[in-house]
Structure 1
Amino acid sequence: MKHLNIAVGIIRNSQQEIFITRRAVDSHMAGFWEFPGGKIELGETPEQALRRELTEETGIVAHHVQLLEILEHRFSDRVVTLHFYLAEDWDGEPYGREGQPIRWVKQIDLRAEEFPEANARIIELLVAQAGVAQ
């Protein structure tokens, strides 16, 4: 079974909003919203992959990132290990460099059903964290 290691960036601004993008129609889990990120290439650390992917997908250069969680999820055809990082300090303004739709969502308003199933646990953690902060 195919195993993928993925670096995922949770870009959060000072208004406690999270930047998300919509998955392309020709991609695995098409149409769902997602946090920017992508495959960790051979020889890259998860943090290096994250920084590369954030620049490629959103046009930002992340400064300090913090590892939040590492989660594994099994699909029928693959296993993914997701390395979730929080990015709150960056240069540039995030946008969909690949033409993908984007939006900013209040952290507390994230909805797991709008994302691939593999993101459910991190969304639960983010929403709970936002609820405590209020």
Structure 2
Amino acid sequence: MKTVNVAVGVIVKGEQILLSLRHQQQHQGGKWEFPGGKIEAQESVVEALARELQEELLINIAHDSCEPLIRIEHDYGDKRVCLHVYTVKRFSGEPKGAEQQEIRWVDKAKLADYQFPAANQAILQAIQQSEL
């Protein structure tokens, strides 16, 4: 089984972080996630993140505001992923769910109230331990 490399953005605005709700028919559907998507061949993590966030949320990120937060490998049994997680602190545009997904700004302190895919637990811990 090959591993899918995924660029993940923890988009920060003050004390809030942007979450996106996965569509029911998607892998891990109905759970909240940090937006992002597959890294294509020849793309850097930040290039993939910029492309995915433009497609999903209609925002343009400032590449120099992206910093690595954590890298996670997770095996769901039916799918293996490697999440390359970056914080995003500057962007232009107002985020919208361009793929009809629900999005929500959530206080950092309230992230534990949301249901995330298992691979995201380490991201949640990294956020709580960092100075976002």
What TM-score comes out, normalization by structure 1 length?
0.91
Task: Classify 1:120/1:112 alpha carbon distance in 2 versus 1 (closer, same or farther; 3 Å).
Answer: farther
The question of 1:29 aligning with 2:31 is answered no
Q: For the aligned residues, what is the CA RMSD?
A: 1.5
CA contact 1:23–1:32 (8 Å) conserved in 2: yes
Q: Deviations over 1:64-111 (max 9, x none)?
A: 211111111111022110000101101011111111011111112112
Q: Secondary structure at the match of 1:111?
A: helix
1:59-98 equivalence runs, <5 A:
59-63=58-62, 64-98=65-99
Residue in 1 aligned with 2:108?
Answer: 107
Give unpaired runs (5+ residues) of structure 1: none
Give unpaired runs (5+ residues) of structure 2: none
CA contact 2:32–2:114 (8 Å) conserved in 1: no
Residue in 2 aligned with 1:47?
Answer: 46
- Hey, which bits of structure 1, 4+ residues long, moved more than 3 A? none
Count of aligned pairs between the two proteins: 130
What TM-score comes out, normalization by structure 2 length?
0.92
Task: Classify 1:112/1:67 alpha carbon distance in 2 versus 1 (closer, same or farther; 3 Å).
Answer: farther
